[in-house]
Structure 1
Amino acid sequence: MPFHAVTAHRAQLGEGPFWDVDTQALYWVNIAGKQALRLMGGRLRVWQLPEPVSAFIPCERGDALVTLSSGVYRLDLVTEALTLLCVADPQPGNRGNEARCDANGRLWLGTMQNNIGAQGEDLPITRRSGGLFRIDTDGQVTPLLHGLGIPNTLLWSDDGAHVHFGDSLDGTLYRHAIQADGQLAPAQAWFGPHTRGGPDGSAMDVEGYIWNARWDGSCLLRLTPDGAVDRILELPISRPTSCVFGGPNLTTLYITSAASPLDHPLDGAVLAIEVDVPGKPCHRFAG
């Protein structure tokens, strides 16, 4: 299958791809480089931010959310002004990591111990201080999980009854039932660990299969709804970090990646490939 890099940009830590159906635009971030990026109409725009940023998600009202180390902010895409929406995780020394919106347009944010130094260098992770939080359009925060290591992957079943959620420190993707009060039932191990790297971000296709990026595994795993490996998609990058379905028919798979010691030419690029099954669309923040 032919891959191509969608821009010449290379990220230290590319993450959080989001495809906006209405504008046919791809959003993503360079966490360590403190950059929010958008590719629309063949043109790349970069917003330089004051802190590491883990997600860049458009809002229904026309601005976007950015999840920075100090909180969740609204970003005015024209003036570049930042306005604090909320501090989801008050734990000192934590930062945001995985973030996606559910079908109701609420933001779910997974946090972790900050592992990025002032110059973008890696810092060791020494504690499981992260959590999972749900954020309503008015900024109200509901804690859902605590004691997390490296939260990655947030995907919901069509009926909204379950969420898939991963912790890379465990090498495992979990499945939680969503209870009537909105809280999560205890985790059920759904997939992993696996020999092909650790679990990072994921996307779901219309058949309910999950495409999981494998950090240090140079591949995506397509996983069946029962948690078995359906196929391995080999990649020309060392550290794929996440993926999203986009394009006019949601059959273009966009894959973010990070730099690595192996220094492959495409490490840090966003790759695109056409696949044989369409994916499910992303949801904007409803606010």
Structure 2
Amino acid sequence: MKIEVVVDVKPVLGEGPVWDVEQQRLYFIDSLGRRVFRCTADGTEVRAWTVPSAIGSMALTRDGEGALVALVDGIHTLDFGSGELMAVIDPEPGMDGNRLNDGKVDRAGRFVFGSMNMAETESSGRLYSLDSSWRLRVLDDGIICSNGPCWSPDDRRLYFADSWAGEIWEYDYDVHLGEATHRRRFAALASNGLGAHDGSTVDAEGYLWNAFVYEGKVARFAPDGTLDRVIDTPVKKVTSVMFGGPDLDVLYVTSMAEPPLPRFPGDPAARGSLFAITGLGVHGIPEPRFGGLIADAHTARFEERGPAEHVATSGAHS
């Protein structure tokens, strides 16, 4: 196993790596530095786009020419050619203490993303699903900091974490209906009191990989939730993970250069770097793109459709 720096652009809060198998490019974001990055598997050909507010996550669109970006004031489209942004949906109008955070696309093309309390003290966040018809639904609520949505290879389980709950959850997931029910504990990694579960991905064997932020560890959990492996990284503030590269056998790990919460200490010179872990003997699963058409989004604004539908909040907890 080898860990090395691939890109060092010093994001304030590096997050959300997404490997696109069609373009053979890796995307990642600087949540608080308000940038979207793209690079090759070896960290060359770096390109960046600037967005007007903090960005929690992104999802590539079907044509590969742009992305959905989760900003403070809702979901926008980003055109990679022009850099133009257009607002589509604001799930939480008037909730000034919240912003949108981590998200990924399920294999039916839905963008599943969460919100978080910016002070990370109140349970004001929600977990949302935006489908290809631009219907927005609430999957769960009462969340402090949404992180790590990903799915089992058979699409029957959704994994998700409220970072400050001290555990990763799993839900029964109906990929055809986009419903998440029966939330229960999946796994937890013992902490010294500082660490928290951040971004996750699932490999081809059905094992979940999680970045344990503020502890400097990446953990692999078996499908039954037992701890399979722990890797120590060069920095404490690792934030998310994603398999990529031509053979989907490189684990990319993002990190932050500056902690948004002052109670956490700084890191050495490699802080904020995008790392690559090779030699793991494990392969990832191709990430899907969002299934909706951008042209349709601009004629079907959220304000015209009414509030988000609650589909599983009351029945999600078991």
Identify the TM-score tier after normalising by the shorter chain. Answer: over 0.9
Residue number among 176, 179, 183 corresponding to 2:179 in the alignment? 183
- Asked if the contact 1:11/1:258 (under 8 Å) is kept, the reply is yes
Match of 1:242 in 2: 240
Instruction: Report the Cα distance in structure 1 between the residues aligned to 2:201 and 2:153, rounded to whole angstroms.
Output: 13
TM-score, normalized by length of structure 2?
0.83
> Unaligned regions of 5+ residues in structure 2, if any?
260-264, 293-318
Q: CA RMSD in A?
A: 1.6
Amino acid at match of 2:67: A
- Asked if the contact 1:86/1:140 (under 8 Å) is kept, the reply is no
Instruction: Report the Cα distance in structure 1 between the residues aligned to 2:277 and 2:218, rounded to whole angstroms.
Output: 12
Q: In structure 2, the residue corresponding to 1:169 is in which secondary structure? A: helix
Match of 1:30 in 2: 30
- Asked if the contact 1:85/1:139 (under 8 Å) is kept, the reply is no
- Asked if the contact 1:170/1:193 (under 8 Å) is kept, the reply is no
**Shift of residue 88, structure 1, vs aligned partner:** 2.6
TM-score, normalized by length of structure 1?
0.92
- Asked if the contact 1:23/1:40 (under 8 Å) is kept, the reply is no
**Shift of residue 184, structure 1, vs aligned partner:** 2.2
Match of 2:271 in 1: 267
Q: In structure 1, the residue corresponding to 2:77 is in which secondary structure? A: strand
Amino acid at match of 1:7: V
Match of 1:48 in 2: 50
Q: In structure 2, the residue corresponding to 1:285 is in which secondary structure? A: coil
**Shift of residue 17, structure 1, vs aligned partner:** 0.5
Instruction: Report the Cα distance in structure 2 between the residues aligned to 1:125 and 1:202, rounded to whole angstroms.
Output: 19
Amino acid at match of 1:98: D
- Asked if the contact 2:12/2:32 (under 8 Å) is kept, the reply is yes
Instruction: Report the Cα distance in structure 1 between the residues aligned to 2:178 and 2:249, rounded to whole angstroms.
Output: 32
Q: In structure 1, the residue corresponding to 2:17 is in which secondary structure? A: strand
Q: In structure 1, the residue corresponding to 2:113 is in which secondary structure? A: strand
2:77 is aligned with 1:81: no
Instruction: Report the Cα distance in structure 2 between the residues aligned to 1:204 and 1:268, rounded to whole angstroms.
Output: 23
2:75 is aligned with 1:72: yes
Match of 2:5 in 1: 5
Match of 2:19 in 1: 19
- Asked if the contact 2:74/2:88 (under 8 Å) is kept, the reply is yes
**Shift of residue 181, structure 1, vs aligned partner:** 5.0
Note the alpha carbon deviations across 1:222-243, whole angstroms, 9 max, x for none.
Answer: 1111111111111001111000
Amino acid at match of 1:267: R
- Asked if the contact 1:89/1:131 (under 8 Å) is kept, the reply is no
Match of 1:39 in 2: 39
Match of 2:290 in 1: 285
- Asked if the contact 1:88/1:135 (under 8 Å) is kept, the reply is no
Cα distance 1:91–1:178, how it changes in 2: closer, same or farther (>3 A)? Answer: farther
Note the alpha carbon deviations across 1:80-123, whole angstroms, 9 max, x for none.
Answer: 1111221233351211111100001110011011x2xxxxxxxx
Instruction: Report the Cα distance in structure 2 between the residues aligned to 1:192 and 1:230, rounded to whole angstroms.
Output: 12
Stretch deviating more after TM superposition (18-27 or 41-50): 41-50
Percent identity over the alignment?
Answer: 33
- Asked if the contact 2:15/2:29 (under 8 Å) is kept, the reply is yes
- Asked if the contact 1:24/1:40 (under 8 Å) is kept, the reply is yes
Amino acid at match of 1:85: V
